[in-house]
Amino acid sequence: AAPPPSAPGEPAPPPPPPLQYSLLLQHLVGDKRQPRVWDPAALGGIPCPPKSEEQKMVERVMESCPFKAALACVGGFVLGGAFGIFTAGIDTNAGFDPKDPYRTPTAKEVLKDMGQRGISYAKNFAIVGAMFSCTECVVESYRGKSDWKNSVISGCITGGAIGFRAGLKAGVIGCGGFAAFSAAVDYYLR
């Protein structure tokens, strides 16, 4: 911009100082930088209305440890039941009677065995899922971070607790096995 014209007889105002690089940097990345409020609507994004109290309450409930544990328990029950039915379906000894090894089992006996195995697997998977999820949520709340260490620590605690019923050595092996499995799953999912 050109400087405003001066009246005749007045001295011309001095030209503005040249823009220095260091002053520019102070305004871009230095201590004179003004923080910008991130607004997706200003960037051409979809404007997002503020959340209502009901939405915030639902988010708090869904992020709570009891909800996560219940969800993992239900998911483990369903997955375990499906896995149990599948393994019983491909097992050649389903409905097998050791008293009469040459007798062919009936469809009713095979279905009964599939149901029993499905329920057994479902209960075990539900317990393990709830234990792992609850432990991970407690560890995450205690540490205040959400990273791979939470799943490794909770895997070790869950595996150790399950294995400890069979003795100290089984507890240590369970801790290491679950921790390694949790680390591998967390690595591939993140």
Query: Tell me, what's the pLDDT at 47?
Result: 67
Query: Tell me, what's the pLDDT at 42?
Result: 64
Split the chain (190 residues) into runs of 10 and give each run's mean pLDDT.
Answer: 61 72 73 70 69 91 91 95 89 74 79 90 95 92 88 93 92 94 88
| pTM of this prediction exceeds 0.75 | no
Spatial distance between the Cα atoms of 113 and 100, rounded to a whole number of angstroms: 17
Q: How far, CA to CA in Å, does 8 sit from each of 11, 13, 100? A: 8, 13, 124
Predicted confidence (pLDDT) per residue in 33-48, tens digit: 777 666 666 666 676 7
Structural contact between residues 177 and 154, judged by C-beta atoms closer than 8 angstroms: no
**DSSP state for residue 131 in the 8-state scheme:** H
